[in-house]
Structure 1
């Protein structure tokens, strides 16, 4: 009887698992209406052009800089609509944050990251993909950067409309490569760099998925399946919070605070270990007090992971704003420098007014168009609870640190979404394993029909195929579009 009750609860959970999607709050529904959203976005990109004209001054290249600022603002809007979902989606899907709360936190921390720690010096042409000297003259370079900026923005916009979280970094890389090939030929491309980027398409999501699955297995074996779950949580949750705190400390030092302080990987790891140990010790009495009076059930465990999950989402947003603002305004900064000085072969420092456009654009894009991708990442790939979402967030930070140590150019989008896939596929494997164990214990138990087994999959295959396909074609699609745009701009300019 007990086994039948367990199986009924187990199968009922699987039935409901993917059917729960969060509704956006009423306050955001008005802003999310297409006409209102597009209208606000249009006003923002126009204002970006006005600011560029006012700051840059009246020169022969003012019109070019204004158009570039408009394209940069458009790209920033698309980064906010697409990329930020990877940081906030797990917390929203786990019901640790409402959609409105997630958007407010993300907007604040994305902007803070961009304005405080962003604007670092970037290479002249997107991380050494194209040799600057092959551009021959400033005009060719400017048109190439303009084409790269517009093509990457258009591609990310299309991916958002399709509901596919893609790498904005890879979009910019593809745009620069395509424009560079159109301007200077295939020989201008650093194919070694492009090979490393292609390898990261596979390495980063697989690594993120494996790490997330490993942490979920640990939580299940050490906490969830223990007879006294609360006692186990008092032992292990402080350790897990300490691991998360230390990992994010190292992550922020490496990826989010490069402009403020320069620390190498061993130093960052040392800081992370110290902060992790201190946080572990500090959390022991906190978790003990928080767990008093809780029932010995899985639902009680979710409470203990809620605050760490919210903090991790905020820290991921800060680091993302610090790093990915350059995807929106790096080419714009290069155009500003080439237009004002004629120099396009040296490193480019991003002016503060350009960083402000990027920071505000990311925030506006998130507020106006972000909920769609947040829902996809947070609930439509696989069902997340605070424990699973914790594994996703921690995996994202660990994978970035590990990739930095290996020198791999990875995408935070690929890592976060790969971690969600890893959690979902681990749950499928674990559910099948438990059902097999039950059938061994009761040999005459009837088997589910193949159609029913497919229906109970815990990862939505349609989203999996759409997202993977979008990842694979991001660089070539952005490159092809950029090459076409460059040819058109160059023809019009001539």
Structure 2
């Protein structure tokens, strides 16, 4: 396959991943506002989309980490990047189908690491960067966000204990709009940059850029637009799990959870950590339940944590398999086979999801006692 054509395919696939990142992670910013009624579902995803686009232009620190801090640039080829993106996209779609709020960031990094391992062996991975900038934040971030949300929720209810309940709920709904907007802006500063970093790697591998060049403006604009469009369409299955599945939320809890999420995400973006916004948002929501002493559905939380633990290795396995197919078949044939498999799997998941559709019309339906993110039919009424 011609290098230019392969580069174009990789860029389009990267933007497709960015799109899945958008609809998969809409829940991180807007699930609580939708669950408490602070925002109507369609208005919430529209607001989040706009702010994700704006946030993508605020910083490039995370893009630099993805481009140079996880794998060795000199072993990255266009086929390696394409294989890594395949792993990230498929894991995003699988977890979206099951309504599991897993990490798009870790899916992307896992897919890339898996493809590099097949292409260049263990020497192609910067293990110290993987541990310090991915693994450690993955453990620390949800715990930190949960603690901040717990304290914030307790303080909110403590300070407003003399306020009539109706007034309290009404005023905090307005506060939630601001805090949810801040999370959306923070999400754009962190997650859109991950795809920028991947495209930057592809441009270096394709001979279009040098490692010390700046990220081109068209890459920033393209990634901002793709994540914004995905966000607007809304990942309703995941929104439902975060908003209704973990705990029953009130507006004061929602504002506390969103504010703690935004703070942790913005700090990580400043230091260039490709943090999982999903881990942060989930930790914050659980913390808000603990802070108000609202029952947390720990069975749902356990399934989510399992998904978090297997995201990196699962996406890495898909990335490794995709690179293995390309290497075995060679040239354009291997790439086209992987592309065909990716399209077929994506279409199959989408068509299957329509059997138990979740959308703005039923995302706030009561959560059944036996509902599970792993059983979409139990989590939503049929469309």
TM-score range, shorter chain: 0.7 to 0.9
Of 289, 300, 322, the match for 1:463: 300
Secondary structure in 2 aligned to 1:416? helix
Structure 1 distance, partners of 2:158, 2:65, is 50
Check if 1:335 corresponds to 2:202: yes
Of 304, 315, 326, the match for 1:478: 315
Partner of residue 130, structure 1: 71
> How many equivalent residue pairs?
330
Shift, 1:365, TM fit: 2.0
Check if 1:223 corresponds to 2:60: no
Show structure 1 runs of 5+ residues with no match. Answer: 1-58, 231-296, 432-457
What are the superposed Cα offsets for residues 236-261 of structure 1, whole Å, 9 maximum, x if unpaired? xxxxxxxxxxxxxxxxxxxxxxxxxx
Matched ranges for 1:194-343 at <5 A: 194-196=130-132, 197-224=134-161, 229-230=162-163, 297-341=164-208, 343=210
Of 134, 142, 154, the match for 2:90: 154
Partner of residue 351, structure 2: none
Shift, 1:391, TM fit: 0.9
Shift, 1:409, TM fit: 5.9
Matched ranges for 1:39-438 at <5 A: 60-114=2-56, 116-117=57-58, 122-123=63-64, 126-133=67-74, 135=75, 141-196=77-132, 197-224=134-161, 229-230=162-163, 297-341=164-208, 343=210, 346-347=211-212, 349-400=214-265, 410-427=275-292, 430=293
Q: Which one is further off, 349-358 or 172-181?
A: 349-358
Compared CA separation, residues 471 and 220, structure 1 to 2 (3 A):
same
On the 8 A contact 2:61/2:270 being kept in 1, the answer is no
On the 8 A contact 1:167/1:411 being kept in 2, the answer is yes
Structure 1 distance, partners of 2:272, 2:200, is 26
| TM-score, length of structure 1 as denominator length | 0.62
Shift, 1:350, TM fit: 3.1
Partner of residue 339, structure 2: none
Structure 2 distance, partners of 1:336, 1:201, is 28
Partner of residue 372, structure 2: none
Secondary structure in 1 aligned to 2:77? helix
On the 8 A contact 2:7/2:202 being kept in 1, the answer is yes
Shift, 1:180, TM fit: 1.6
Partner of residue 284, structure 1: none
Structure 1 distance, partners of 2:11, 2:269, is 31
| TM-score, length of structure 2 as denominator length | 0.78
Partner of residue 367, structure 2: none
Secondary structure in 1 aligned to 2:63? coil
Compared CA separation, residues 104 and 401, structure 1 to 2 (3 A):
closer
Shift, 1:77, TM fit: 1.7
Structure 1 distance, partners of 2:130, 2:185, is 28
Structure 1 distance, partners of 2:308, 2:2, is 40
Secondary structure in 2 aligned to 1:83? helix
Shift, 1:70, TM fit: 2.5
Structure 2 distance, partners of 1:404, 1:328, is 14
Structure 2 distance, partners of 1:153, 1:475, is 13
Q: Which has the larger radius of gyration?
A: 1
Compared CA separation, residues 220 and 119, structure 1 to 2 (3 A):
closer
Shift, 1:124, TM fit: 7.9
Show structure 2 runs of 5+ residues with no match. Answer: 332-383
Shift, 1:475, TM fit: 0.9
